[in-house]
Amino acid sequence: MKSLGFILAILLVGGGGWVGWKRWQQDQASKTAVAAASARPVEATVETRNIRFAVSAAGEIVPADQVSVRPEVNGKIEKLPVDVGDAVKSGELMFQLDDRDLRIQQGSQKNAIERSRLELEQAERNYRRAEELFKGHLVAQEVFDDSKTSFELAKNSLNNAQKALDLIEYQLMKTRVTAPFDCTVLTRPVSVGQAVSGSGGFNSGTEILTIANLNDLIINAHINQADVTRLHMNQDVEVTVEAVPGLKIIGKVERVAPQATIKNNIKGFAARILLKDVDKRVRPGMTANISIPVASADNVVAAPLAAVFTEYNPETKQQERYAWVRSGEEWERRLITIGVSDYFFAEITAGLKAGEVVAFEDKSKNAKAGSTPAVAGIAPRPAQR
């Protein structure tokens, strides 16, 4: 019996300690919540400020003009004076193919042309002689016709030989490739001595270089369908580059796709933003953020969005916006009208003035269910001024 009493005493003491510990935890949690609530701002002062509302989009910077350089004829790389990153002026040599075989063919074809020319002269003399004899009835019709046919065949032979020479000289010209515009070499996947195929061959030929004009860059962006209506041709947009902190560039909307596409599960429209005379630190492949201006207001009375409440009025059948304004020791519910707003502040066009204090919570004891506070970071649709 003594053992049983001892065990019961231990259980009672342990149970009491556990209950006390749980109450202590609850008290600490309540104190933490009260401290957090007291640290969070509950009111703010209406102030005069500038408001800028813009929507953002991300895109990749790419060259406006980028060319894959491939030879038009087969050959072996003999000269390749440029490398990745080199700036090449328009008309400067980019690469040259070994043209010895074509030079040999050119010499042989010139000899063939000379031989065809001599054969043509001989055929012409035979034809003229046969023509005179035929007029004098000294040769048969068949002999005259044969001489005429030989003369025509000789002319065709010389013509074909000349065309073959022209083709060889055209191929010789294509062995030397120069820059079509001022450019920078982006890639060079081949080396001197490597055999390459022409663009008319398999897989459209061997890519020798990739070049681009880095003075003019573009941004290919995917604009959300909810924001694309705010874009228009030749509109200026502000561009920032993640890799170059603090740099801001002005871009111009050059093109907006007429049809929506889906990218990363977001339906939107492809847009092309042109950048002119950009900073040398900006390179193709970098990520850019585009800021599309929507609405703005300068030096206006503004209140935090968290202090702007919305409530449906069944009498007017419209949404009304209001704020709780400090009046002495009390709070006054006041209807307000807002104009331009961004993600944090709203322009107050009526109902408030600078210096007044507004609350971040609904002060009414019997707030209606339809009363909704604005949330910081979520802006109502901006109104056009």
Residue 363: give its domain's CATH number: 2.40.420.20
Instruction: Pick the closest to residue 385 from 316, 305, 299 (CA basis).
Output: 299
Residue 346: per-residue pLDDT? 87
In this structure, what token pair is assigned to residue 191?
């080396």
Instruction: Encode pLDDT of 175-209 as tens digits.
Output: 999 999 999 999 999 999 999 998 876 678 899 99
Residues in the chain where the model's pLDDT stays below 70: 1-40, 201-202, 365-385
- Measured distance CA(111)–CA(116) in Å, rounded: 9
Question: 49, 347 in Cβ contact below 8 A?
Answer: no
135 and 246, same domain (yes or no): no
Residue 47 CB neighbour total at 10 angstroms: 14
Domain boundary among 241, 274, 294: 294
247 and 197, same domain (yes or no): no
- Measured distance CA(130)–CA(10) in Å, rounded: 143
Domain boundary among 163, 190, 212: 212
Question: Would you say residue 24 lies in a domain?
Answer: no
Residue 296: per-residue pLDDT? 78
Residue 370: per-residue pLDDT? 42
Residue 347: per-residue pLDDT? 87
Coil/strand/helix, residue 254: strand
Residue 97: per-residue pLDDT? 94
Instruction: Pick the closest to residue 146 from 160, 129, 121 (CA basis).
Output: 129
Question: Would you say residue 15 lies in a domain?
Answer: no
CATH of the domain at 198: 2.40.50.100
Instruction: Encode pLDDT of 349-362 as tens digits.
Output: 888 888 888 888 88
Coil/strand/helix, residue 126: helix
201 and 301, same domain (yes or no): no
162 and 146, same domain (yes or no): yes
Residue 122: per-residue pLDDT? 93
Question: Would you say residue 287 lies in a domain?
Answer: yes
Residue 159: per-residue pLDDT? 94
Residue with tokens 């509109």: 235
227 and 274, same domain (yes or no): yes
Residue 188: per-residue pLDDT? 94
Residue 80: per-residue pLDDT? 94
Residue 186: per-residue pLDDT? 92
Domains in the chain: how many in total?
Answer: 4
Q: Which residues are within 8 A (CB) of 328 and not within 5 positions of it... i.e. 6 or more apart?
A: none
343 and 285, same domain (yes or no): no
Structural domain for 335, as ranges? 43-52+297-373
3-state secondary structure 195-207: EECCCCCHHHCCC
Domain boundary among 174, 196, 229: 174
89 and 103, same domain (yes or no): no
Question: 52, 210 in Cβ contact below 8 A?
Answer: no
Residue 341 CB neighbour total at 10 angstroms: 24
- pTM, two decimal places: 0.58
Question: Would you say residue 3 lies in a domain?
Answer: no
Question: Would you say residue 187 lies in a domain?
Answer: yes
Question: Would you say residue 110 lies in a domain?
Answer: yes
Coil/strand/helix, residue 156: helix
335 and 277, same domain (yes or no): no
Residue 299: per-residue pLDDT? 87
Instruction: Pick the closest to residue 384 from 49, 53, 120, 115 (CA basis).
Output: 53
Residue 383: per-residue pLDDT? 40
166 and 263, same domain (yes or no): no
365 and 330, same domain (yes or no): yes
319 and 344, same domain (yes or no): yes
> Residue 55 corresponds to which amino acid?
V
Residue with tokens 């000294």: 138
316 and 344, same domain (yes or no): yes
